[in-house]
Structure 1
Amino acid sequence: MTIPSSADRILNDVLRTRIMSAEQAAELIPAGATVGMSGFTAAGAPKAVPQALARRIERINAQGGQFRIGLWTGASTSPELDGALAKVHGIDRRLPYQSDPVARQQINAGEMNYIDLHLSHVAQYVWFGFLGHLDVAVVEVSGILPDGRLIPSTSVGNNKTWLDQADAIILEVNAGQPAALDGMHDIYYGTDRPPNRKPIPMLHPHDRIGEPYLRCDLNKVIAVVPTHAADKLSAYKPLDEDSQRIAAHIVDFLEHEVQHGRLPRNLLPLQSGVGNIANAVLAGLNQSAFEDMTAYTEVLQDGMLDLLESGKLRSASATALALSPEGFKRFEARADELRQRILLRPQEISNHPELIRRMGLIAMNALIEADIYGNVNSTHLMGTSIMNGIGGSGDYARNAYLSIFMSPSTAKGGQISCIVPMASHVDHTEHDVQVLVTEQGLADLRGLAPRQRAKLIIAKCVHPSYRDPISDYFERALKGSVGQQTPHLLTEALSWHQRYLDTGSMRPAASPAA
């Protein structure tokens, strides 16, 4: 076949002989295979092979076939991957995280088996053999060197593990990714299985401990697919008033911690989840007096790019570039400079509990709901329906120097209170939650017993339209609970959720509208 211009990035002679179309490559993936694909958010996800595979699955199943695969990734991916395969009912088992609406519907309908894992666990569970065998890896790279080493793309995720563990490898070489990515990655090959593990030699977020390139056994590469396509990036959303209030509370709190000697003036390394609130907090830090900050996180969003451009952030370590289209243009324009200040690593390193604890991160993550004792639900709606997954929040919350969870106080136009008597599902127990923040205020829970935590959360974080009902519940629980360590009325603890399912609102009938 004629080699397209994007094949100019394929410099290894052996792999140039394996260039083929996405359709030809998809034919090499057998039904029932477990496939590890690149992608951490839409960043670095393969673009062509998953869509070709979806078309093949649709064609075969329309003729009475039963073609499905197991799908492993770094985290959520993109419409061309999760979306395309879910629409044709092509995924039997999915892990470790997803955010596609079609996949979510199938998971909650019981049509797709979903395994929600801490992101730091995925690579080691695969190495341990806990999850079964990996048949095929489909990994996007931005180039192949003459000696066969691979220039990673806009995310690293679990790609090192997929390339090591899979029986067969399909590479998408995307010439649409900036050539300046070359040198921005730090791939650590020093991990091992117990009992042969050694300490990871990192003290600071900007420490280089690995190599700029991925390795793979060239004999396992069965297809090389040239592409030229941008990541499907989400647009940057304007910061809403509630998010800005949450950000202001957090910045004030960090200032307070500095004044009391519990944080250095340039803070400790920042970890920030994704979304509007996270970007608002980063914007607040950009407007603050803090200087010379560092970041050690999963994804680099627009807010962190702003901090890098302003000089407030000295360096950032992540596993993916989750920028908006406008943010990515800014990144491309300054990629040569930013390559000296950004490191992209495998997620087994970006989310590694040992490193998080050693460097003392300030972890800031979102929640779906929290209860009055500080237990946090970050995954399930009404206790039974998955939203996206736990992602890396547990990796950071359990091990961070400061563990902060944040959310608006209400959802669905005020019909749902995000602070409830009892969480309908618990991902982060009260033992891992130090600070809760809503637009109403901030509750510092450190050193408080459960009843003390409840009083502070109700006073600081609950929306006014729910404060009296939740205070009433707590006061009655103090009198009617079997035990007083964590008082609950078990016949009422989840009644707010049931009321929402029955009536469309958590508000008691006599409660005024927000």
Structure 2
Amino acid sequence: MSDRIRHPAFAARRMSAEQAARHIRHDMTVGMSGFTGAGYPKAIPGALAQHITDAHGRGEPFRIRVLTGASTAPELDGALARVDGIELRVPFQSDPELRSRINAGKLDYMDIHLGQLAEKVRYGFFGKIDVAVIEVSAIREDGSLVPSSSVGNNKTWLDMADAVILEVNRWQPDALDGMHDIFYDTALPPYRSPIPLTHPGERVGDPYLQVPLEKVIAVVETDAPDRNSPFKAPDATSKAIAEHLIDFLRFEVRQGRIPANLLPIQSGVGNIANAFMQGLGESEFTGLTAFTEVIQDGMLELIISGKMDLAAATSFSLSPVGIERFLEHADVLRDKIILRQQGVSNHPELVRRLGCIALNGMIEADIYGNVNSTHLMGTQMMNGIGGSGDFARNAYLSVFMAPSTAKNGLISTIVPMVSHVDHTEHDVSVIVTDQGLADLRMLSPRQRAKVIVEKCVHPSYRDMLADYIERATATSYGKHTPHLLPEALSWHERYLVTGSMFGPEATQAKD
């Protein structure tokens, strides 16, 4: 590891993960690196989980508050949740074990916009950060830190923590060195200045993270891969959604509302996002840029092919094949990818200034364009709002996408009223399903309802929704946004009771 830990004083603080984890104690607040399965600490969480288990075996309390960048991996969230070691988790998660405990009420979870967490910690809203556990790919001769495959909130954790544990991971590619742009501005309101960024490709910071040597209490060596899922080829539903969206962007170009090379793209993760990237690769669009949170396989291929000139994000989320492609083309990618802290990658002012096209997934939308992206049946947390809200409210175009049905058609993605609201109708420009695309701009609520039902609803549910709207319009207390309050959430109730949102009229229509 001598080529990865090149500062003697940092090297002198090397110890095992088991030794380092003993610095973390009950009732501490711990800031950990990690964003979408990339750049999370690989050794400390497992060692800490064992210490927690031992303490519980002795009858001693041991639970901590865990703050990260976004989701991590089973080796962190799963390991700590499994031993009942988490009291509070912030801000985004995707681990099944952790999710199960959140929904069982066994630990507290705070869902917060990813672009806001770092500044709220800096304002003191979360109290002090006792320990930061940060993965880096190297420690340079001058003591600066080469970030790994995600930046997330690492700068803030390093700045605000009383003590720091560094994991130096040899697995992280040398090619990452120089790919980061860490913006150093610590002013608090009312003395903050604008971030001087007017193009996704500008560099306004430093390639490296900084931490005072006196804060570093341990350096742990690791050689372990990020935990990311294999790439899944887009299915027919995802391709249909992508085709509707690309046709819409062509129309916007013809109307002169966006340039021929589009505007900076923000794209969430998942099958639909990869299908959209694949569709862009097969389209006539060139000279593309991205100002986003995560670079996954589809976006990486756009850069390698030359279709996309530049992508700025806070993290990679690459499959094993994607990682091989990154290493194969590292020399070219070094000049085309910039990784920043999420307080910059998700900054609302920058999203609006750059005019981003925001593309995010959803669980459900209602007939007026309100979107639920976090809760199943209004009560069970799925993953969290992530960065979708940072982009949706401030984007040039705010697009939400999902299949028109779920659970083999037993659930309609478009419902009379969403069971939980993450994005109000005011922040949603376009809704897309495999059935079609609804452009909601400049439409009143009743006009929105009409176009959503016509364009986005699965045929099995279209008559049900049309009937609901007709009866609501005739008898609702108000005519501006008609609703039948006793029935507004009846579709969700019907599913919980019968296992299907189908009503008698829909079942007959389907038959």
Q: Cα offset for 1:234?
A: 0.9
Q: Counterpart of 1:273?
A: 268
Deviation sequence 1:423-454 (CA, Å, 0-9, x none): 00000000000000000000000000000000
Please say if residues 191 and 198 of structure 1, whose CA atoms lie closer than 8 Å, have aligned partners that are also in contact. Answer: no
- Say which SS state the counterpart of residue 71 (structure 1) adopts: strand
Alignment of 1:291-306 (within 5 A): 291-306=286-301
Alignment of 1:293-372 (within 5 A): 293-372=288-367
- 1:153 paired with 2:159, answer no
Deviation sequence 1:142-166 (CA, Å, 0-9, x none): 0001111000000000000000000
Q: Counterpart of 2:229?
A: 234
**Cα distance in 2, alignment partners of residues 468 and 85 from structure 1:** 47
* 2:143 aligned partner, one-letter code: G
Please say if residues 7 and 173 of structure 1, whose CA atoms lie closer than 8 Å, have aligned partners that are also in contact. Answer: no
Which of 387, 392, 406 is equivalent to 2:382? 387
Q: Counterpart of 1:95?
A: 90
Alignment of 1:140-289 (within 5 A): 140-289=135-284
**Cα distance in 1, alignment partners of residues 404 and 56 from structure 2:** 46
Deviation sequence 1:312-364 (CA, Å, 0-9, x none): 00000000010111001110111122011000000000000010000000000
Which of 389, 407, 410 is equivalent to 2:405? 410
Q: Counterpart of 1:464?
A: 459
Please say if residues 26 and 53 of structure 1, whose CA atoms lie closer than 8 Å, have aligned partners that are also in contact. Answer: yes
Q: Cα offset for 1:27?
A: 0.8
Change (3 A) 1:334 1:364: same
**Cα distance in 2, alignment partners of residues 191 and 356 from structure 1:** 21
Q: Counterpart of 1:113?
A: 108
Please say if residues 160 and 346 of structure 1, whose CA atoms lie closer than 8 Å, have aligned partners that are also in contact. Answer: yes
Which of 424, 433, 440 is equivalent to 1:438? 433
Q: Counterpart of 1:473?
A: 468
Please say if residues 120 and 126 of structure 2, whose CA atoms lie closer than 8 Å, have aligned partners that are also in contact. Answer: yes
Q: Cα offset for 1:191?
A: 4.6
**After TM superposition, which residue ranges in structure 1, 4 or more long, deviate above 6 angstroms?**
none
- Say which SS state the counterpart of residue 36 (structure 1) adopts: strand
- Say which SS state the counterpart of residue 413 (structure 1) adopts: coil
Q: Cα offset for 1:267?
A: 0.4
Q: Which moved more, 1:249-258 or 1:185-194?
A: 185-194
Q: Cα offset for 1:510?
A: 4.4
Deviation sequence 1:185-227 (CA, Å, 0-9, x none): 0000025211111111111000000000000011010000011
Deviation sequence 1:395-430 (CA, Å, 0-9, x none): 000000000000000000100000000000000000
**Cα distance in 2, alignment partners of residues 187 and 482 from structure 1:** 53
- Say which SS state the counterpart of residue 230 (structure 2) adopts: coil
**Cα distance in 1, alignment partners of residues 90 and 487 from structure 2:** 34
**Cα distance in 2, alignment partners of residues 86 and 286 from structure 1:** 40
Q: Cα offset for 1:7?
A: 4.4
TM-score (norm: length of structure 1): 0.98
Please say if residues 42 and 77 of structure 1, whose CA atoms lie closer than 8 Å, have aligned partners that are also in contact. Answer: yes
- 1:374 paired with 2:369, answer yes
Q: Cα offset for 1:10?
A: 0.7
TM-score (norm: length of structure 2): 0.99
* 1:438 aligned partner, one-letter code: T
Q: Counterpart of 1:3?
A: none
Counting aligned pairs with the same residue, the percent is 63
Q: Cα offset for 1:497?
A: 0.2
**Cα distance in 2, alignment partners of residues 483 and 7 from structure 1:** 71
* 1:225 aligned partner, one-letter code: V
Q: Counterpart of 2:446?
A: 451
CA-atom RMSD in angstroms: 0.8
Q: Cα offset for 1:63?
A: 2.3
Please say if residues 153 and 343 of structure 2, whose CA atoms lie closer than 8 Å, have aligned partners that are also in contact. Answer: yes
**Cα distance in 2, alignment partners of residues 196 and 217 from structure 1:** 24
Which of 122, 134, 145 is equivalent to 2:117? 122
* 2:377 aligned partner, one-letter code: M
- 1:51 paired with 2:46, answer yes
* 2:476 aligned partner, one-letter code: S
- 1:82 paired with 2:77, answer yes
* 2:10 aligned partner, one-letter code: L
What runs of 5+ residues in structure 1 fail to find an aligned partner?
Answer: 1-5
**Cα distance in 1, alignment partners of residues 312 and 186 from structure 2:** 18
Please say if residues 304 and 329 of structure 2, whose CA atoms lie closer than 8 Å, have aligned partners that are also in contact. Answer: no
- 1:488 paired with 2:483, answer yes
* 2:477 aligned partner, one-letter code: V
Q: Cα offset for 1:31?
A: 1.0
How many aligned residue pairs are there? 509
Which of 493, 504, 511 is equivalent to 2:506? 511
Please say if residues 363 and 400 of structure 1, whose CA atoms lie closer than 8 Å, have aligned partners that are also in contact. Answer: yes
Please say if residues 374 and 430 of structure 1, whose CA atoms lie closer than 8 Å, have aligned partners that are also in contact. Answer: yes
Deviation sequence 1:107-140 (CA, Å, 0-9, x none): 1111110000000100100000111211000000
* 1:283 aligned partner, one-letter code: Q
Please say if residues 296 and 318 of structure 2, whose CA atoms lie closer than 8 Å, have aligned partners that are also in contact. Answer: yes
Which of 47, 62, 68 is equivalent to 1:67? 62
- Say which SS state the counterpart of residue 223 (structure 1) adopts: strand
**Cα distance in 2, alignment partners of residues 89 and 376 from structure 1:** 33
